[in-house]
Amino acid sequence: MDPSIEPAGFVVASDTGDRLHFLDWGGDRRPGIVLVHGLSNTAWSWSPVARRLAAERRVVAMDLRGHGLSDAPTGRYEPELLASDVIAVAEGSGALGEDGVVLAGHGFGGIVAAWAAAAIGDRCARLVLVDGGWEDIKATSGMEPDEFLRGLEEPPEVLRSMAAFLAERAGFDPATWDADQETAARATVVETPAGRVVPATRPHALAACVEAMFEYRPALVLAAVRAPIVALAATSPPPDPGLPRMNLIVLPAVGHNLMRYRPDDVTEAILGTAPR
């Protein structure tokens, strides 16, 4: 891993003409890798893993529509469109080549990556679900989308200043807090003139993504994926045995963000070198 590597930012057009931002971490070996972040996050959340992957493969990390520096149109966040966004980034960045592409997603990003993997069929070389992507949220949560959405709200004291926000994020696990984590955290909020911070993800986009997430039926989607599937479980319940066969790797960690807490293990799983 080279800690001095800084990715370049690029934009591609989606099927609807919306701009999709991605970070290009370089690398040239195939198959390429596209990394998809979770709800209310950005491509920067993948930095610890992307730095490691870039030494071995062509790797990019995208901002989902409504997140980061990608466009945030009103409406149009249905599963088919979110999947086509991943494919647009894979093709536009050059990550998708003759050997296909590896898709890896964290949390909600695992769901989006699964939709994309099912859509591209044999062109997906490997699907990696990082602590998410195997749950039927509607069935397991017992919630409606609006109730789930309210649970994502940050406490007012966390948003009172950038310093308070960063301190709260660092406190999750001080040992893994570094410059990459600070960059990733800062990318998820916007500082107001009054000194408070507000979430950077547009409210309408977050609500639309949660609605799409509640439409996800893993048994149907994962059964349509032709590529090998790897599931990395930390805080999420492990996959239901009734789901299509996948390589399950349990990685006990401090929390959901395995890219921060277990970057070496996530890297190995994406490269296909993790133990079965």
Task: Identify the residue whose tokens are 């789901």.
Answer: 243
Q: What are the residue boundaries of the structural domains of the chain, listed by start?
A: 8-271
State how far the Cα of 152 lies from the Cα of 114, in Å rounded to an integer: 23
Confidence (pLDDT) at 253:
79
> Region 182-192: what's the mean pLDDT?
98
Has this prediction a pTM greater than 0.95? yes
Element at 197 (helix H, strand E): strand 197-199
State how far the Cα of 212 lies from the Cα of 135, in Å rounded to an integer: 13
Task: Identify the residue whose tokens are 């990550």.
Answer: 95
pLDDT per residue over 59-83, tens digit each? 999 999 999 999 999 988 999 999 9
* pLDDT at residue 40 greater than cutoff 80: yes
User: Where does the pLDDT of residue 28 fall: very low under 50, low under 70, confident under 90, or very high at 90 and above?
Assistant: confident
State how far the Cα of 216 lies from the Cα of 136, in Å rounded to an integer: 6
Task: Identify the residue whose tokens are 């993997």.
Answer: 117
**Is domain 8-271 classified as CATH 1.10.390.10?**
no
Question: Do β-strands 189-191 and 229-233 pair in parallel, antiparallel, or remain unpaired?
Answer: unpaired
